[in-house]
Structure formats: C-alpha cells, structure tokens
Amino acid sequence: MPVPRLRTTPLPGIGVQYELTTRRHDTLSVIAHRDRTRTLNVHHDDDPDSCGLSLPLTGAEALSLADALLPGHNNPNLLHTSDFGLLAEQVTLPGTSHWNGRTLGETKMRTATGASVVAVMRRSHAMPSPGPDFRLHGGDIVIVVGTREGVDGAHAILERG
C-alpha cells in the first residue's frame, strides 16, 4: 500500500490547507488559519465541493485532537512531557499581543491556570525564571510548564489579542 501523501496548499490571507486522501477516497483537510485556529473538513474525493463535515477547532482543541490521533506527535510547541502528567510548551506572543509591554504578573496566569513560566526567549537571549515584574514583548517565546489543562489555559491567556 502506498504511503499517504499530505498535500499542502497556501491560502493567501487565510493560512495553509493540508489535505490527505484516504484509501477509501475520502479527503480530510485541515485549514491552519493565520490566527492559529483550525478547521477540519471531510469530503468524498470525487466531489470536493460537497463537504460532509466542517468543524472549526481552537488551537487547544487541535492539539488535543492531535494527541488523540497520534500520542507523542511532533508538535513544535511541545518541548517535554513527563510521567507525572506535566508538560512544557512554548507560546509565542504575537506582535499585537494584549500583553505587549505589560508584566508577567498582570497576566495572573499562574493563579488562573496553575501553569508556570519557566523562561522567556527574546531574540537570541534566554531569561530563565522571570519574576512577576518581567515585562513581556511581542515576539517573546514563553516557556510554560503545567498540566495539559494548565498549559492550554496559559495559551488562551497569552494568545489574547
């Protein structure tokens, strides 16, 4: 049986579409929107205009689905998992972030989610263990450690527009 091929199509102004045709000739497509949300679509290959399912997913929902489909998948945000139910992920602050110029303490992330920021990468410099007075900037890569729920909550807080 041939190896399934994932076709990639840039969608200017929208994001990227990934398509996989199954051996039953159904096509699964995922549109990765620029705002980090995803839309999962299913249609029969002989009629791509008749979509049988279109399901919008948040970034956190897409990650959970990927975990269910392929445990231990290669998620670029996932840095580490442990047997204790903890994981480390990176969250990139957009340039237009609500938190740009605000302190880490203002996010109230640890209180709200239980997740901890263990480092911030800014350009080529790492700032380990930033305190509550640390000022965030658009483009920062924030390294968060916590449970799946806590890290998902941290994503939601830090990705606030």
Here the CATH number for the domain that contains residue 108 is: 3.30.70.1450
Look up the pTM and report it. Answer: 0.54
Q: Quick check: is 62 in a domain?
A: no
- Could you tell me what percentage of the chain is helix, strand and coil, using 3-state DSSP and rounding each to the nearest 5? 20, 40, 40
- Claim to verify: residue 45 and residue 90 sit in the same structural domain: no
Q: Quick check: is 73 in a domain?
A: no
Helix (H) or strand (E) holding 144: strand 141-146
- Claim to verify: residue 96 and residue 127 sit in the same structural domain: yes
What was the pLDDT predicted at 11?
85
Count CB-CB contacts under 10 A for residue 114. Answer: 14
Mean pLDDT, consecutive 10-residue segments, the chain of 161 residues?
Answer: 71 84 81 84 72 79 70 55 76 90 96 96 91 95 91 90 61
- Give 16's DSSP letter: E
Look at the chain and report how many structural domains it folds into. Answer: 2
Compute the radius of gyration of the chain from its Cα atoms: 18
Q: Which domain holds residue 106?
A: 78-158
